[in-house]
Amino acid sequence: MEYETYTLMFTLGFIGGGLSGLLGIGGGIIMVPLLLYVPPVFGLVELPMRVVAGMTTVQSFIGAISGASKHNKFKRIHIPLACYLGIPMAIGSFSGSFISKQVSNELMLQAFGVMAVCAAILMFLPKRNEEDNPDLNDVSFSKTFAIFTGGTIGVFAGIIGQGGAFLFIPAMIYLLSIPTRIVIGTALLIGIMSSAAVFIGRLGSGQIPWGWSAFMVAGVLIGAQVGAAFSQKTPVHTLRHILAVIITGTAIKIWFEVL
């Protein structure tokens, strides 16, 4: 049974990592439903939300590092934007990760569902036409709004054990008006900052199951590189639609379980 479990963790990690590199997300929005609902389908152990949150903390951190390294080669990472949004997120995430130990599994699921609904609504809003190959030097944004957005998202991301990319990616695209390709690359750098803070917080409070996480992360490392390569060849509107569908499907499934 352990062999089957480790094989499944690696496979799920590869899937989550591939979508992480493709869409610029750390992968928590993908991995949470996969880890919650897929193992029981194969007759394996059913994981509680607290364990899933601990595993995706590690997965989000490693997935962001792997994906960002690939996107950086294509000059898709805007470092100032990542700092103004990512540093407040890291601070908020660190605080949220400690608060999470006092939060019930049910409340974690509800918080995850609310954030997913907000992100889905943003992703389905109409988007102006944009260049397929944008220049980093042409990007501008409100620094004050970026700091506020990052800090707010960070607190909630820390509570549910995610890097928060499934919410700050729509925020960058639709609220800060950043080109999608630059958003995807920059999001992974931000994900490193925020998920590192969550990782440290959960590590200090002993909430990470290392055995299963190790096999899952092995799949993430490979999948994120493959996904990042495909991301450069995929039209930007397709990337937005894929992300919108994934977030919406997750929100529906989570709220179905909550209600």
Reported as a single tens digit per residue, the pLDDT across 90-113 is 888 778 777 777 777 677 767 777
Contact call for residues 10 and 230 (beta carbons, < 8 A): no
pLDDT value, residue 41: 86
**Mean of the per-residue pLDDT values of the chain:** 81
Q: Given pLDDT bands bounded at 50, 70 and 90, which one contains residue 27?
A: low
Q: What is the pLDDT of residue 68?
A: 83
Q: Which domain holds residue 30?
A: 2-258
Does the pTM of the predicted model rise above 0.75?
Answer: no
The two tokens of residue 117 are: 């609904």
* 180-214: pLDDT as tens digits: 889 888 988 887 877 777 777 777 666 677 777 78
Of the candidates 249, 186, 222, 252, the one whose C-alpha atom is nearest the C-alpha of residue 18 is: 222
Q: What's residue 144's pLDDT?
A: 93
**Tens-place pLDDT, residues 56-91:** 878 888 888 888 888 888 888 899 999 999 888 888
The more confident residue out of 205 and 246 is 246
CA distance 147 to 179: 19
Q: In the predicted model, what is the mean pLDDT of residues 164-168?
A: 74
Assess whether pLDDT exceeds 80 at residue 26. Answer: no
- Going by pLDDT thresholds of 50, 70 and 90, the confidence category of residue 146 is very high
Q: Based on the structure, what is the number of domains in the chain?
A: 1
DSSP for 150-188, written as a single string: HHHHHHHHHHHT---HHHHHHIIIIIS---HHHHHHHHH
Residue 199 to residues 68, 69, 192: CA-CA distances in angstroms?
18, 19, 10
49: CB partners within 8 A, 6+ apart: 36, 105, 108, 109
